[in-house]
Amino acid sequence: MTLQDLDLMDPGAFADGIPHAHFRRLRAAGGAVRGRDTDGESLLHLVRHRDVAAVSRDAKTFASGPTTMTSIRKVDPSPPIITFLDSPEHTRVRKLTFKAFAPARLAALEAPIRRIVDALLDEAREKGAFDLAEDIALRLPFAVLLELLDIPHEDRGTLLGWARGTVNLGDEEYDGDGTAGQDVFLKIHEYLLDFARHRASHPADDCFSLLLGARLKGADRLGLPDRLTPEEVGLFASTLITAGSETTYCSVTGAVLALLEFPDQLARLRADRGLMPSAAGEVLRWVTPVTHFARRATTDTVVAGQPVAEGERVVLWYSSANRDEEVFADPDRFDVARTPNPHLSFGGGGPHVCIGNGLAVMELRQFLEAAVDLLPRLEITAPPERPETNFMNSVKHLHMRFR
């Protein structure tokens, strides 16, 4: 088998999980391989930690616009969300929205997150048999996002009812003919846009008002508006719903699968709760919820010894970078005490690094803290089912029961 034989843009190549053996061969063979997206566009796949990090940090040479998605999630035309903006527009939106993730706001979410985790686990215990993916992993991040965004309590039930439409896009069971997810996204977006417009004329002590009231110093020098419009706030909130739910959903199912696969690591974590932070980091490295994003070269350049022409796209394979033997000792070992752990699950650094990473780690840690003592009493009753995707390391059903 040659290095080109496995088409990384084919979801079928991920049907049995991330093709780690293939990535290992690609790293050993120099770390870059040329391929094509399903629309014929030329791609250079980058699989080493150092190249993924270098490209992520050089936003001048490697742009995010008009999209960082490959065919599996590409939308034409791509919406002007923060992920697809370049500087100075990106810097403006990032600075104006970062306030939503200020340390004090995150600290205030600790108790509500714990309440949500406990309620979901209690419900599962009462049921006895449950689907970890649908009953817990899907609902936890969505409920936390509604809390982060201070969505009025009376509307939360409706929004939670749409949660299923935000994950596993492209998979027939979830996304139907490929438009069901998009329809749900439009409903969520419409709601958040209306709410942003309402808050613009009726400010309150909440997240939307904070975002609408933020001002950017020096914006006039850049020739950019110094505040976000209600439309921009609505779009940012919608982006958080898509960026913050499916990712965390994957990390929760992945955490349970890893801890049950490696009972010695589960026992170690139960015996030493001080390992929770490193365990959360290791789950993120091990699972790598987002397998890849792409960038577009703004000029002719060279990466991993390969020429890249202006306009050509490079694909950053976080799933492979996180198993790079140049950076991680014994990378295929799940080690809850791994330190240091410079995983790239939130991106390779640089201006687009995940804005919600503090919240994501907090959610995962709280889930682990509540779940580790239940796990020895749980068993998996059917093989985990994966959706059809090469973009997320997802499990769409994980049936379990209490012994």
Interface ranges with ligand HEM (CB under 6 A):
56, 68, 82-83, 94, 145, 239-240, 243-244, 247-248, 251, 289-290, 293, 345-348, 350, 352-356, 359-360
Q: What share of the chain is helix, strand, coil (3-state, %, to 5)?
A: 50, 10, 35
Q: Which C-beta is closer to ligand HEM: that of 355 or that of 382?
A: 355
In angstroms, give the least distance from the CB of 73 to ligand HEM.
13
In angstroms, give the least distance from the CB of 168 to ligand HEM.
16
Phi, psi for residue 379 in degrees, rounded to 5: -130, 150
Q: Which C-beta is closer to ligand HEM: that of 177 or that of 280?
A: 280
Q: Which C-beta is closer to ligand HEM: that of 3 or that of 113?
A: 113
Element (H, E) at 296: strand 292-297
In angstroms, give the least distance from the CB of 148 to ligand HEM.
6
Q: Which residues of 122-156 are buried (b: 16+ CB within 10 A; e: fewer)?
A: eebeeeeebbbbbbbbbbbbbbbbbbbbbbeeeee
Cα–Cα distance between 269 and 286 in angstroms, integer? 16
In angstroms, give the least distance from the CB of 28 to ligand HEM.
24
In angstroms, give the least distance from the CB of 127 to ligand HEM.
26
Comparing every residue's Cβ against ligand HEM, the nearest one is 356
Is the peptide bond preceding residue 66 cis, with omega within 30 degrees of 0?
Answer: yes
In angstroms, give the least distance from the CB of 300 to ligand HEM.
22
In angstroms, give the least distance from the CB of 29 to ligand HEM.
25
Residues in the chain: 403
Q: Which C-beta is closer to ligand HEM: that of 209 or that of 267?
A: 209
Give me 14's structure tokens: 């991920």
Q: Which C-beta is closer to ligand HEM: that of 229 or that of 381?
A: 229
At 50, the amino acid letter reads R
Q: Which C-beta is closer to ligand HEM: that of 41 or that of 58?
A: 58
Q: By three-state DSSP, how is residue 297 classified? A: strand
Burial class (CB in 10 A: 0-12, 13-18, 19+), 76: exposed
- Angle value at C-alpha 289, between 121 and 320, nearest 5 degrees: 145
